[in-house]
Amino acid sequence: MDINRYSQINPPQRLLMGPGPINADPRVLRAMSTQLIGQYDPVMTHYMNEVMELYRKIFCTDNYWTMLINGTSRAGIEAILLSAICPGDKVLVPVFGRFGYLLCEIAHRCRAKVNLLETQWGTVFTPDQIEDEIKKIKPKFLLIVHGDTSTTMIQPLKDIGEICKKYHVIFYTDATASIGGNELETDLWGLDAVSAGMQKCLGGPSGTAPITISHQMKEIIRHRKCVEKGIRTVEHKDGDGEIIYSNYFDISMIMDYWGPERLNHHTEATTALFGARECARVILKDGLKKNIARHKLHGDAMLKGIQGMGLKLFGNIEHKMHNILGVIIPKGVNGEQVRKFMLEDFGIEIGTSFGPLHGKIWRIGTMGYNARKDCVLQTLACLEQVLNLVGFPMIPGAAVESALEHYSLENIHV
């Protein structure tokens, strides 16, 4: 093996304007270049406690059990579903995009009885639709995505918590794509569990999944049977629920590690924790509301710019997330060729799409560190150039002008 064939990692500069990942905030990258310390060093356990405090604010909750799962966003989903669902439990999954099917798939692996409720991509559910289905199915759990990046839609959850409470249903949402850039009120909306990821509006790299669970959800998880008898003593009563078929994702054990007992489980991914802590600190320093408003401002400016160049948007835009936009690829334009030019000539990545939308829409994100005026204007100007190059006629400069007009109406100059 000739080691000299392997150069240092030195990827090209890219502006990531797709559905995530996005460019990480430089402050987060700096935090992640910090030297390691031992996992039971009091400084480290203090940081873990701080992470719990900071993410309670990000999730808008008082839930004590608010912590990180090491792994990408789906690690957070798997940890919650595997730890809560017993084989044979009935779950209802209203699906409005690709990530709803992911919840179904994971629930199947938990041996749940999975009931699907589907709606057309580009739309969301009304509370009545969900209530009717709950009445029919009588599930133990309702599992729903908050913002589905595949369609760019956000499901209003505000009234669903009340419905779940009325029918004694445990309410979980996947907020990977929405958290930090859109309103999410864990306690006010009656959510029992929420999981998230770093690589979208939180402005970090993927690899950590913040989660929060309510007291009721904690009780369900604690009632599972305990395998490591004699080792795990905290609150484990060797309950009546079946064992959790995962060691790594057993939230009971993870709680024992994050809680005051500090019982050994995995070795916390220190560098990822430093990054996650910095993401939350940066957002909360400005204020969560301000961060959400920033995502709305730049998301709307992108939308105006796209409309300004004569392109059409996908789905019911009244229900789109602030941080992402589905753009219909005009007839006669090769969507992949446009993405290639954007990446190779301008260093800008925009997103493709999945399933029924494959080849039909681009997904353009304005999130986290890249929810900025300069990123929006650069992307619009370059996309206009590329579209001209591939023969799609438009009024030169119209996109940037429309976005600038939006900024001037909003009185934003930076």
Q: Which residues does the annotation place in the binding site for substrate?
A: 363
Asked if 109 is part of the footprint of ligand PLP (rule: CB under 6 A), the reply reads no
Give the binding range for ligand PLP (CB under 6 A) out of 33-41, 174-182, 270-278, 309-317.
Answer: 174-182
Main-chain phi, psi angles of 78, to 5 degrees: -65, -40
Each residue 63-92 as x (binds ligand PLP by CB under 6 A) or -, in order, gives ---------xxx------------------
Main-chain phi, psi angles of 282, to 5 degrees: -60, -45
Among 70, 115, 151, 206, binds ligand PLP (CB under 6 A): 206
**Cis upstream peptide for 21 (omega within 30°):** yes
Asked if 176 is part of the footprint of ligand PLP (rule: CB under 6 A), the reply reads yes
Choice between 79 and 177, CB closer to ligand PLP: 177
Q: Which two tokens stand for residue 361?
A: 């829409």
Asked if 174 is part of the footprint of ligand PLP (rule: CB under 6 A), the reply reads yes
Q: How far apart are CA 68 and CA 49, in angstroms?
A: 11
Count of residues of this chain found to bind ligand PLP when the rule CB under 6 A is applied: 13
Asked if 99 is part of the footprint of ligand PLP (rule: CB under 6 A), the reply reads yes
Q: Minimal distance in Å, beta carbon 75 to ligand PLP?
A: 7
Each residue 17-36 as x (binds ligand PLP by CB under 6 A) or -, in order, gives ---x----------------
Q: Which two tokens stand for residue 63?
A: 């839930």
Q: Which two tokens stand for residue 114?
A: 């999975």
Query: Alpha helix (H) ranges present in 1-123?
Result: 26-31, 42-59, 73-84, 98-109
Q: How far is CA 282 from CA 49, 191, 212, in A?
A: 17, 25, 20
Give the binding range for ligand PLP (CB under 6 A) out of 142-150, 231-239, 244-252, 298-306.
Answer: 142-150
Main-chain phi, psi angles of 280, to 5 degrees: -70, -40
Q: How far is CA 269 from CA 44, 69, 275, 348, 406, in A?
A: 11, 9, 10, 31, 42
Give the binding range for ligand PLP (CB under 6 A) out of 49-57, 172-180, 304-312, 394-402.
Answer: 172-180
Q: Is 170 helix (H, G, I), strand (E, B) or coil?
A: strand
Asked if 320 is part of the footprint of ligand PLP (rule: CB under 6 A), the reply reads no
Residues that bind ligand PLP (CB under 6 A): 20, 72-74, 99, 145, 148-149, 174, 176-177, 197, 206
